[in-house]
Structure 1
Amino acid sequence: MWVAFAANGSSSSTAGLFVKRLLPTVGATTKVPRSSEGSDTLTPSQSTAFVARPGGGLYVASCIGYPTCTKVGLWRVGADHPVTVPGSGGARDIALATGPGGRLWIAWTTYHAVKVVHTGPTGAHLSRVRTVRPPRAAPDLYGISIAGTNRSVDVVINNGSALYHRRIGLR
């Protein structure tokens, strides 16, 4: 069992996103690379995007940059650096999901759109970014949640007063 969490510490070693193994034995706390700039960090406004990929590996998707998110990073726990998700500047809320075949799905909101990208079944090689316009009734976006399959991802967005669902397939 693992946990991922955000911390607003007073130094570069105590601010940012972190992962820690809890069971079967407690492990060391490890900082997600590039999850802060010095002691400045963008704390997620929803659950930290953290998954265990079928086929192996633990992954965190997080904002890189401060005071705004200049890009999303996808980090495999234990790797030296996160992989930059192309076209992800200006991300706000980030969600991460797996498909049963090992594919990772990453989705994020901007102020008026949802962006989605996926990996191949091995967890590598990012697809091109898809932009999904939310329904007209959802002009502002305040949260995102996703559930992935091998061929599509279900996206639920929150506009502050209602939830909206979209299914997005592979291209």
Structure 2
Amino acid sequence: MAHNEREGLGKDYYWKELLHRKLDGELSEEQKAQVDEYLASSAEAQLEWKTLCQLKSLTQEYFAQAKKNAPQESLWDAVSQQIGQGAGLTVTAQPQRTVITPVFRRRWLTWGTAVAAVFIGAVSFYLFTFWGNKSTIVQNPCIIESVESKKGSVMVFQDDASGTTYIWLLSSMESDHEQHRGNAS
């Protein structure tokens, strides 16, 4: 950077930029010598350099610790394994489809009126909901998994966009009543 460019950006900004680049190892030998000379002559620059070094060290420690503490198996596998070891695990059944047989003893006029009312309702719903609406309906990409037991439920949701995992622990009303009765005794 030429001398006149340094003056245009401001002296402090120029030296702070060089300190950052030195910390990242992006300076030539000549620039390193200039920065070292500046550090030797300025207490403010020494304080800035010390702060930058501490910040880099803390950041490296944080990411090293986060990597060390990262779970080796998926979160859901760990939660479901721990819950599965608990007593009273119940598995919820998938909903069953039931077939409703029509009642044949009704008069055709009653059925005709009901069908006409449903048709009018469907057309009205379509007209008021979609008429002139140019927006696209977005499908919900989230999947929430859950496990239930006598003591309550656990629900786990991981947002793919942000990578954030949410865990809900829901206690059942029965276990809350038992706990309050036990505390009252």
Give TM-score scaled by structure 2 length: 0.22
Give TM-score scaled by structure 1 length: 0.24
Structure having the larger proportion of residues in strand: 1
